[in-house]
């Protein structure tokens, strides 16, 4: 198999460049824009706690598996999966991991680029003093105005896609590595500055209480699903981005310690972003549950009130754009690498073609906020919301589940053991057991429970006035979910075991 020492696309100079690139991928809009607003929507502390548990029990084990798969395959995720499947003589169904991942990458980047475009446009707005001395209503109107204007949204979306493609066409070393080494240090400096700003000007104690006092009565099933989905999204897991980056990783680097570093930094940035944003929200008597507009209304308004806000505000959005940029690179890299391998064309051509396809998909998201706002792909969800929901809450957890099962059951034990190359066999076995049993069961339970609306089982729970489902402890769906899950789980294991033993006897 293609288990040689280097990928045709290049290799990271050392372990630290992998850490930097993977952190660049992980730290993005998910941390600075999405995490604060979903924490606000799902009630704060309890949500944060569940999210942290998801990172520890699901995110980190899956990330280790994904890096290991990439490094062993040494190709684009689609072809790495092919190679790994044939090495393990496992069933062909596992190749779904590569294909579904590429599709998820297209969908995610298409809406991600639109939001990144908002932050680009906000750099300009803040720098030119658009928010100086405006009141809150005007700040809100400014954001609404941007969303209502498809032409402007298109310009920024296009610009962001050009920036992303511009890096990736220059290759793993000259493009990705050199860009990341500049962006990442800048990012951390700015976050620290902004926390200082939040702490001195804002109400930091309310923010701390909001983020860390756990009130479990506020925790709904959907909140748990969103926390799980977000742990995949924020660590860039489940679609092959980390697998692609793993394929450029040096043989001798330790996967476990690098993954802990990346996951730790990502979590730190998310919490710090919360601590930078919520104090300002509370100090202005605003609601933390402001949704996607949280960062684009509350913050600019506040910056507009502060001395030096014009400068710091512009700087803040530059940094958001940088964070988004280093993530977008990792969303387009897996498909680019595959097209280069499959069609033997230049990276520049491959990446441009993919960029154009994603750019076109993004038009749907642009129009979700204006001309097509009435068009629903999923019930009650615009194209933008649907892409976000389908990828973060379905495709990524499913991808993660399959990755855990593949390394746990599809791959040979000694291959996984060699690839992880952990000094401590006990630690390896701990990870292996978590990955085989705890992680898949946790994902599947959350998944099935979160997706089945309780009201489809018991219409009495439906609140006729609001159309919402009562947050009850109704157990039937959970029970049915559990049974479906158990059957699916046993079937997958049986399938992979059968393939393995057949492979061995032949």
Do 377 and 393 meet the contact criterion of CB atoms below 8 Å apart? no
Tell me which residue has its CB nearest to ligand TRP.
Answer: 30
- Show the binding pattern over residues 237-276: x = contacts ligand TRP (CB under 6 A), - = does not: --x-x-----------------------------------
At 235, phi and psi to the nearest 5? -90, 5
Task: List the interface residues with ligand TRP, window 368-427 (CB under 6 A).
Answer: 396
> CA separation (Å) from 45 to 49, 78, 349, 358?
6, 38, 47, 36
Stretch that binds ligand TRP, among 29-37, 300-308, 411-419, 486-494 (CB under 6 A): 29-37
- Show the binding pattern over residues 105-124: x = contacts ligand TRP (CB under 6 A), - = does not: ---x----------------
Task: Write down the residue that tokens 């044939």 correspond to.
Answer: 86
CB of 386 to ligand TRP, least distance (A): 16
Q: Is 98 in the site for ligand TRP (CB under 6 A)?
A: no
Q: How far apart are the first and last CA of the chain?
A: 18
Q: How far apart are CA 369 and CA 341, in angstroms?
A: 37
CB of 32 to ligand TRP, least distance (A): 8
CB of 349 to ligand TRP, least distance (A): 23
Do 295 and 37 meet the contact criterion of CB atoms below 8 Å apart? yes
Nearer to ligand TRP, 90 or 102 (CB): 102
CB of 267 to ligand TRP, least distance (A): 11
346 three-state secondary structure:
coil
> CA separation (Å) from 108 to 181, 329, 459?
24, 12, 34
Stretch that binds ligand TRP, among 140-148, 233-241, 304-312, 424-432 (CB under 6 A): 233-241
Residue among 153, 106, 159 nearest 369 (CA): 153
Stretch that binds ligand TRP, among 279-287, 297-305, 323-331, 469-477 (CB under 6 A): 323-331
Nearer to ligand TRP, 108 or 183 (CB): 108
- Going by the DSSP 8-state scheme, the letter that residue 249 receives in this structure is S
CB of 307 to ligand TRP, least distance (A): 31
Do 184 and 327 meet the contact criterion of CB atoms below 8 Å apart? no
Q: Is 25 in the site for ligand TRP (CB under 6 A)?
A: yes
CB of 242 to ligand TRP, least distance (A): 7
Residue among 269, 258, 303 nearest 33 (CA): 269
Q: What is the DSSP code string of 75-87?
A: S-HHHHHHHHHHH
Q: Which residues of the chain form contacts with ligand TRP (CB under 6 A)?
A: 25-26, 28-31, 108, 233-234, 236, 239, 241, 327, 330-331, 396
């Amino acid at each position: 198999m293609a288990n040689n020492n280097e990928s045709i696309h290049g290799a990271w100079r050392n372990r630290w460049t992998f850490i930097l690139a993977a952190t660049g991928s992980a730290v993005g809009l998910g941390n600075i824009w999405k995490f604060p607003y979903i924490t606000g929507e799902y009630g704060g502390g309890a949500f944060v706690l569940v999210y942290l548990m998801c990172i520890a029990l699901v995110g980190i084990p899956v990330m280790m598996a994904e890096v290991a798969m990439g490094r062993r395959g040494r190709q684009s995720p689609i072809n790495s999966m092919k190679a790994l499947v044939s090495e393990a003589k496992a069933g062909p169904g596992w190749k779904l991991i590569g294909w579904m991942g590429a599709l998820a990458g297209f969908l995610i980047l298409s809406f991600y680029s639109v939001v990144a475009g908002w932050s680009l446009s906000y750099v300009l707005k803040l720098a030119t003093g658009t928010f100086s001395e405006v009141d809150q209503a005007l700040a809100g109107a400014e954001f609404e105005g941007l969303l209502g204007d498809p032409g402007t949204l298109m310009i920024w979306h296009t610009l962001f896609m050009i920036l992303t493609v511009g890096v990736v066409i220059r290759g793993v070393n000259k493009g990705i590595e050199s860009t990341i080494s500049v962006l990442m240090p800048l990012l951390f400096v700015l976050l620290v500055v902004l926390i200082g700003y939040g702490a001195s000007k804002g109400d930091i104690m309310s923010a701390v209480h909001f983020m860390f006092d756990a009130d479990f009565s506020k925790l709904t099933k959907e909140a748990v699903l969103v926390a799980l989905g977000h742990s995949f999204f924020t660590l860039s897991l489940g679609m092959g981005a980390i697998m692609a980056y793993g394929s450029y990783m040096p043989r001798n680097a330790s996967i476990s310690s690098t993954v802990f570093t990346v996951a730790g930094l990502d979590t730190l940035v998310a919490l710090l972003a919360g601590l930078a944003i919520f104090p300002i929200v509370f100090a202005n008597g605003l609601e933390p549950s402001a949704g996607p507009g949280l960062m684009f209304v509350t913050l600019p308004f506040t910056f507009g009130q502060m001395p030096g806000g014009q400068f710091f505000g512009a700087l803040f959005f530059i940094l958001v754009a940088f964070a988004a940029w280093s993530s977008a690179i990792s969303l387009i890299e897996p498909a680019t690498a595959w097209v280069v391998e499959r069609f033997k064309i230049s990276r520049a051509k491959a990446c441009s073609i993919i960029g154009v396809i994603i750019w076109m998909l993004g038009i749907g998201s642009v129009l979700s906020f204006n001309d097509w706002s009435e068009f629903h792909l999923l019930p009650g969800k615009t194209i933008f919301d649907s892409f976000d929901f389908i990828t973060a809450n379905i495709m990524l957890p499913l991808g993660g589940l399959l990755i855990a099962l593949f390394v746990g059951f599809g791959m040979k034990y000694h291959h996984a053991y060699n690839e992880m190359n952990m000094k401590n066999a006990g630690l390896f076995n701990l990870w292996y057991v978590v990955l085989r049993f705890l992680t898949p069961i946790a994902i599947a339970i959350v998944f099935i429970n979160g997706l089945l609306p309780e009201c489809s089982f018991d219409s009495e729970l439906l609140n006729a006035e609001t159309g919402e489902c009562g947050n009850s402890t109704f157990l039937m769906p959970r029970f049915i979910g559990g049974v479906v899950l158990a059957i699916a789980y046993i079937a997958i294991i049986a399938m992979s075991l059968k393939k393995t033993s057949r492979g061995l006897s032949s």
